[in-house]
Every structure is written in structure tokens, then in C-alpha cells.
Amino acid sequence: MANGFQRTIPLTAFLTILLMTGACDAPNPAPPITPSSQQPTSSASDSPPDSPPDASSVLGPAPADLHDLNWADVPIPGEFCGVPGLVRLGPTGEAMATSRTWGSVRVIRTKNTLYGDTDGDHRDEAVAFVGCDDNGATQNADIAVGYVVYAHAGKNLAVLGSITPRQKSTAYHTALAGAEFAPGQIIVHEKWYRPNDAHCCPSGDATTVWTREGNRLTPGVPRITS
């Protein structure tokens, strides 16, 4: 990945489920990603020094502002869908991959991207909405969804980890409906299905707080709000 990134326009913190259409090329898997266990040191100045990141989480050079990422160059970890390693999606934002759980799947990154500062270094982290489906084989809209959290590691881009829904649903999988940022936290809003809910319309709401400790993300217990 090189510098010279295009501008990505941040959208609202509430997302819709956008996993219905398209086809894709085969991905180029890379070794599995694991969250780094060390936290970069930081200050209010530009490009503060960082502790050495876990090499498996570093993707390559990053722009000073992650709002300027060229997302076509940014791979995603496929573990949220049972796909080992990294999946490279390219300009279409989707690719075919093999899931350990579901077999052949289509992996998708939507254009909905959230930004916020969790470590107080005055540089936003980026949260990309991702999903996978069976590419229309059973007419399922989607199989799994997640947020992938990206951050600076010095002048590089690194993956902190993936956020997946924590509140259980009775029939379909729980959807992600948005996220908010706070010092050391990402507060994730979830939509979950009650027994009589149609596939289109989950009626339950829940919130899960993910705590950032160094470069590790840890989920709390989901709290049902409706």
C-alpha cells in the first residue's frame, strides 16, 4: 500500500445493512491477524513515537489522517466470517473467499466508515463495516457482519481487531447499527431479533461497550435497551 490516498467521506454513526448485491474476484489471503498487545505512546504532536506493533497486525504505510485512506488498497481480516487471514477486496469492495464454517462466501466492505479517537492522540481511528453472504446461493441477505478497527502504528496502518455483535438473536444474526467513540472505548449499537420479528425488521436494541486496552479490544456484556 502506498501513500497518495483518496478522501473517504465519514457518514452518520447509524448504519443500514448493505449486503445484498454484486460479484467479485478471488481474494489474496495473507497470514492471520492477531490484535497487538502493546499500546503506542502518543502526544498531541504530529506522528508521535509508537511502541513496536505486532508485525502481523501492520498493513503498510498510512496517511497522517485515516480519513484519507484509499480503501481499495486496505485488506480486511476475514475471521468474523470464518475466513483465515486477510482478504483483499480491491476497488469493488468485495471478493470471494472460503469460510471454515460456511464454505464459499462473498466478503464485502461497505462505504459506511466511522471515525473517532479512542487513545487521545488526536488522530482518529477508522471503523469499517464488513459482512459476508453466500453470494445468493440460498437467498440469504447475509451470514455475518462486523466492524474492523484500524489505527496508526507510528506511520503505519494496523488492525486493532474486529467487533462482532454480542447480543444473541433467536432466528437471524444480530445486526450492527452504529458506533460511538469515547476515551478507551467504542460503544456499539446492535439490532437483535425477537422470536416473531421478520427478517427485515429486528425490533430489539442493545449496546455493547468494547474497551481498548493498549492495542487490544475487549467486549463487555451487551445491555438490552429495548
Q: 4 or 150, which is more confident?
A: 150
Q: Pick from 129, 109, 126: which is nearest to 65 by CA?
A: 126
Angle at 142 (CA atoms; ends 90, 104), nearest 5 degrees: 65
Percent of the chain clearing pLDDT 70 (strictly above): 73
List all residues 6 or more positions away from 9 whose beta carbon is below 8 Å from its beta carbon. Answer: none
pLDDT for position 35: 35
Which cell is 97 given? 473467499
Q: Provide the CA 203 distance to its chain's centre, in angstroms.
A: 23
pLDDT of 123 strictly over 60: yes
Q: How far is CA 64 from the centre of its chain?
A: 20
Largest CA distance in the chain: 53
- Report which of 143, 146, 180 is spatially closest to residue 163, judged by C-alpha positions: 146
Cβ atoms within 10 A of the Cβ of 215, count? 24
Look at 24-33, 81-90, 166-175 and tell me which has the smallest mean pLDDT: 24-33
Give the 3-state secondary structure of residue 79: helix
CA neighbor of 126 nearest in space, from 67, 86, 76, 71:
67
Q: Which residues, in sequence order, are CB contacts of 25 under 8 Å at separation 6+?
A: 90, 92, 95, 96
Backbone dihedral region for residue 26 (phi beyond 0: left; psi -120 to 50: alpha; all else: beta): beta
The pLDDT value recorded for residue 56 is 61
Model pLDDT for residues 103-121, shown as the tens digit of each residue: 999 999 998 899 999 999 9
Strands 86-87 and 125-133: unpaired
Quote the CA–CA distance of 56 and 85 in Å, as a whole number: 10
What residue segments make up the domains of the chain, in order of their start? 55-165
pLDDT in tens, 158-205: 999 999 999 999 878 899 999 999 999 999 999 999 999 998 899 999
Round to whole Å and give the CA distance between 134 and 108.
11
Q: CA 90, CA 72: separation in Å to the nearest integer?
A: 5
